[in-house]
Every structure is written in C-alpha cells, then in structure tokens.
C-alpha cells in the first residue's frame, strides 16, 4: 500500500510544472542543457544567436559599502546587471541586451497577432480574490498560456505557447524570468513580456 502511495505521488509530481522546473535546474547544474541564446537590441533586432551543448547562466555579485545609524561602515553584496554565459567551457558576458535562452526542442509560434481581449465574468469564481488564489495554484501545475516577448522599447520579438506553462523569478539571476513550457525551459533576460491565458483569446 505504501509503494502505491509513493507511486501516485511521483505520478502527480511528474505532471507538475513546478517539479519539472526544479528537475531542469538540477540537470542544468550537473550536466548542462542544450540551449540557443538569441540576443536582441532595444528595438527588437536580432544581434546574433549562439548555440551550445552545455550552456549555463551565472549572475555576478558586486560589493557595495554603506554606513549604518551608528556611523559604522557595512559591506553589502548584491547582483550586478552583468550576467556571465558559459558556452561549452567558454564565457561571454552580457549587460543591457535582451537575451532569450531557448532550450532545444522548444519552438516559437510563427504567427502571434493577438488582437483585442474582451472578457466577461459569469461566475462567482471569477471574483478577483478567488481568481488570484486559483490561478496561483494553476500556475504551479502549468496551464494553457501564450508568452509574448517584446524588446525593452516594446517591439514584438517572438511568442511561445504551450498547454502547461509555468513561470518563476530565479533568486540568483538578475533581471531574469524563467518559464517552463510543456517541460522545456525558456529564460528571458531584460525584456518586456506578457503571459496570457489562452482562454482569454478564445
């Protein structure tokens, strides 16, 4: 009976996008993941793309000094805006540009013209407080969503969609958002974006 319970728990977690994201982190830290890195300027023009078998992203810590209420000097450490991208053992530093890290097997949508969104509430479950709580837990398991990525000046670059889309803010990477789209990782660095429930567009 105990084995059946463990099996059921494993099956439940395997379908959870949050769990898949953590597994992806473990793989990334241990053996690396195959990514293509796309770099764009502020206007959404692609500067170049980089592909590698083992790509990792590291934030850079900088030291700053401050004085407390008693006049004592304190040393603080915080993440700078510079990220170091390691590609098959070689490094590339990036600061300011928009970067999209696309795991192999993930493909953007060709057509992502969205038009207008016109939504109407028909249920008590649509109340804002209830919806926020429901959507928080839906996000953990992933839900059907469209991700539209734009340059820092608002120019559309690319869009992705998936049946199970989960997102989080990594604690150790500056100005970075991580998404899991149907089990594949997508990192967005220094970009404007929207993540929209597909039901809003039907």
Q: State the chain's mean pLDDT as an integer.
A: 74
Stretch 15-28: mean pLDDT = 52
Residue 9 pLDDT class (50, 70, 90 cuts) = very low
Residue 38: the pLDDT is 92
Q: Is the pLDDT of residue 186 over 80?
A: yes
Residue 192 pLDDT class (50, 70, 90 cuts) = very high
Which range (58-62, 66-70, 109-113) has the least confidence?
Answer: 109-113
34 against 129, higher pLDDT = 34
Q: If you ran DSSP here, which 8-state letter would residue 152 be given?
A: T
Residue 63 pLDDT class (50, 70, 90 cuts) = confident
Bridge-based pairing of strands 176-181 and 156-168 is antiparallel
Q: Does the model's pTM come out above 0.85?
A: no
Q: Is the pLDDT of residue 174 over 50?
A: yes
Which range (29-33, 48-52, 84-88, 89-93) has the least confidence?
Answer: 29-33
Q: Are 179 and 186 in contact (CB under 8 A)?
A: yes
Q: Give, for 188, the enclosing helix (H) or strand (E).
A: strand 184-189
Stretch 126-131: mean pLDDT = 48
Q: Is the pLDDT of residue 86 over 60?
A: yes
Cβ count near 89 (within 10 Å)? 7
Q: Is the pLDDT of residue 137 over 70?
A: no
Residue 160: the pLDDT is 92
């Amino acid at each position: 009976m105990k084995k059946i319970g463990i099996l059921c728990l494993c099956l439940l977690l395997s379908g959870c996008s949050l769990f898949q994201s953590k597994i992806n982190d473990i793989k990334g830290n241990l053996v690396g993941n195959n990514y293509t890195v796309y770099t764009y300027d502020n206007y959404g023009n692609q500067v170049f793309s980089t592909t590698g078998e083992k790509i990792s992203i590291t934030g850079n810590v900088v030291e700053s000094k401050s004085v407390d209420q008693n006049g004592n000097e304190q040393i603080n450490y915080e993440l700078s805006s510079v990220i170091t991208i390691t590609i098959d053992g070689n490094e590339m530093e990036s600061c300011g540009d928009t970067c999209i890290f696309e795991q192999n097997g993930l493909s953007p949508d060709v057509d992502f013209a969205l038009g207008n969104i016109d939504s109407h509430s028909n249920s008590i479950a649509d109340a804002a407080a209830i919806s926020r709580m429901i959507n928080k837990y839906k996000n953990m398991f992933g839900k059907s969503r469209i991700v539209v990525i734009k340059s820092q000046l608002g120019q559309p670059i690319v869009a992705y969609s998936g049946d199970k889309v989960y997102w989080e803010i990594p604690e150790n990477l500056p100005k970075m958002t991580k998404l899991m789209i149907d089990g594949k990782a997508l990192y967005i660095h220094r970009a404007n974006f929207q993540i929209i429930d597909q039901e809003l567009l039907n």
